[in-house]
Structure 1
């Protein structure tokens, strides 16, 4: 299952980098200031793209995994980094 959320924020690049650094200790991660990829142990892949006004989050969740739970994990972690603007609005749509 693939789902996408465009999260409005002026700090997309900062949050992308914080999230990738946070998970780089336990997962396969690649990122720069504008794009990131995180591969979770359950086979889920998260792709991040930072623009001036939004962070686009794409989740690719394999069959048999709980997509809703993975969406919530991502939203919870981003809200921790964005505590000044939290809760960030996540409107997941099919990708």
Structure 2
């Protein structure tokens, strides 16, 4: 069984933030991306990213329910730093 949560961030720089996030994590863990899509593979789960217009959609998936909040925190903390001027609201919805 897997556990999933999704957050949508509204920003004019959705593609830029997707690429920054993937490049940042690529120094330490596997990350692949295009300007529109990205995947970051953590030891405790996977983050899939999609940029469409002014929307950055981030979906985290884990095998353990206990790892889901950790994934949310790790993934959300970085766009909050990159987008400090936008001050994005990142609200997770569990699926």
Structure holding more strand per residue: 2
TM-aligned CA deviation for residue 91 of structure 1 = 1.8
Question: Normalising by structure 1, what TM-score?
Answer: 0.91
Match of 2:73 in 1: 72
The runs of at least 4 aligned residues of structure 1 exceeding 3 Å deviation read none
TM, length-normalised to structure 2: 0.91
Considering fraction of residues, name the structure with more helix. Answer: 2
Count of matched residue positions in the alignment of Structure 1 and Structure 2: 93
- Structure 1: gaps (5+ residues): none
- For residues 40 and 47 of structure 1, the distance between their equivalents in structure 2, rounded to whole angstroms, comes to 11
Give the Cα–Cα distance (whole angstroms) in 2 for the partners of residues 50 and 27 of structure 1: 21
- Per the alignment, do residues 71 and 27 of structure 1 end up closer, same or farther by CA in structure 2, a change over 3 Å counting? same
The residue aligned with 2:90 is 90
Structure 2 counterparts to residues 4-43 of structure 1, below 5 A: 4-42=6-44
CA RMSD of aligned residues (A): 1.2
